[in-house]
Structure 1
């Protein structure tokens, strides 16, 4: 009689069932966490832009007309959040408050 070391078909099916069950439980949880990560990343970009806005004011003595001026003069790299759905803009009231708004483009 040979001494075969290996998995039987039943053992392989059990392992595949366990892995499949874990994936079914894990994937929806990861999808919901992705949105949280995107929101935190966008808030971090807003905070960085607020800090760089102050640096711009110290350098130039005035506020820029748009957030894209900060990008053009390389105070920040982008005014768009990493998922591309949101961007930064000044509020409509003219008090130079930075808001996170939906990206039109």
Structure 2
């Protein structure tokens, strides 16, 4: 009697592993580029939020805060003063926040 084998051969398994390896080689470098783009967009959004809080402070006090530290804790959290471990820039004369 003939015995029916329904398993993958070694060649088939090697071909599947090769295809998976090629896909990983193509995808992983793109993920690194995307994470930098996401971090950049996140910093831009944080700058916009902090700028809005500076504007809210100005609306209430009719003057710009002397520093971003003056906004903590009523307007900002301590963590919102930095993005990617860099301190946000602030000009107290114009009230402009920069990343």
TM-score bracket for the superposition, by shorter chain length: 0.7 to 0.9
Q: Within 5 Å, which residues of 2 pair with 1:4-83?
A: 4-70=5-71, 72-77=72-77, 78-81=80-83, 83=84
Residue aligned with 1:57, SS: helix
* TM norm structure 1: 0.79
Please identify runs of 4+ aligned residues in structure 1 that moved more than 4 A.
none
- State the number of aligned residues: 96
Q: Following TM superposition, by how much is the alpha carbon of 1:98 offset from its aligned partner in structure 2, in angstroms?
A: 0.9
Q: Following TM superposition, by how much is the alpha carbon of 1:90 offset from its aligned partner in structure 2, in angstroms?
A: 0.9
Q: Following TM superposition, by how much is the alpha carbon of 1:28 offset from its aligned partner in structure 2, in angstroms?
A: 0.8
Larger Rg: 2
Residues 5-29 of structure 1: CA distance to partner in whole angstroms, max 9, x if unpaired? 2211111111110010011011111
* TM norm structure 2: 0.83
Residue aligned with 2:82, SS: coil
